[in-house]
Structure 1
Amino acid sequence: MTVVRSLLLFALAALAEIGGAWLIWQGWRENRGLWWIAAGVVALGVYGFAATFQPDPDFGRILAAYGGVFVAGSLAWGMIVDGFRPGLWDFVGAGICLVGVAVIMYAPRGL
């Protein structure tokens, strides 16, 4: 159950951070206004708190692992929301990042 909780928290963090950054981008770069930017700031705040609920006590480990989730999540967001079409090497790179997440977060400790 701990791994499932951790994965759900990573998904929430990715949605909040990537979504928040996207909202700010839309508000500023696409001239959608301050409400979009404000919503983005709130979403980024949610991201900041999401990591604190991870079961692992080490901030550095969680943020390092989240980096891999962010890479893969950003590509997925681009595909779903913006119609981005990643190439083979984008998928390979994201896969490598997710393997890194698994090793950092879920490999046995004490080796």
Structure 2
Amino acid sequence: MPKRSYTCGLDAAIDVMGGKWKGLILFWLDEGPLRFGELRRTVAGISERMLILQLRELEASGLVHREVHQQVPPKVEYSLTEFGRSLITALAPLGEWGEENMERLEGLP
């Protein structure tokens, strides 16, 4: 795999968590570990296939940990890593900005 090259820190951050779903997945995992089905119900509008793809990418980036519990039926939980928590901390001000400006943003064409 070729080494990634970024022009600035924002470029790197958006690369690792960009897209419509990753931010929402990280937001809900900040509440604590969730099973796949719980995430599927919590992240409104995401398809099962897209959730699988996004979780795989977040895991490969080191932001999310996938824990498989050996039991019947199998139980898989997803949680934030310390690296993922550091990203959530960085995103908090952006989320506050979004909350403060949500009405204005919803009114945009």
Taking structure 2 as the reference length, what is the TM-score of the superposition?
0.34
Give the helix-richer structure, 1 or 2: 1
Taking structure 1 as the reference length, what is the TM-score of the superposition?
0.34
Give the strand-richer structure, 1 or 2: 2
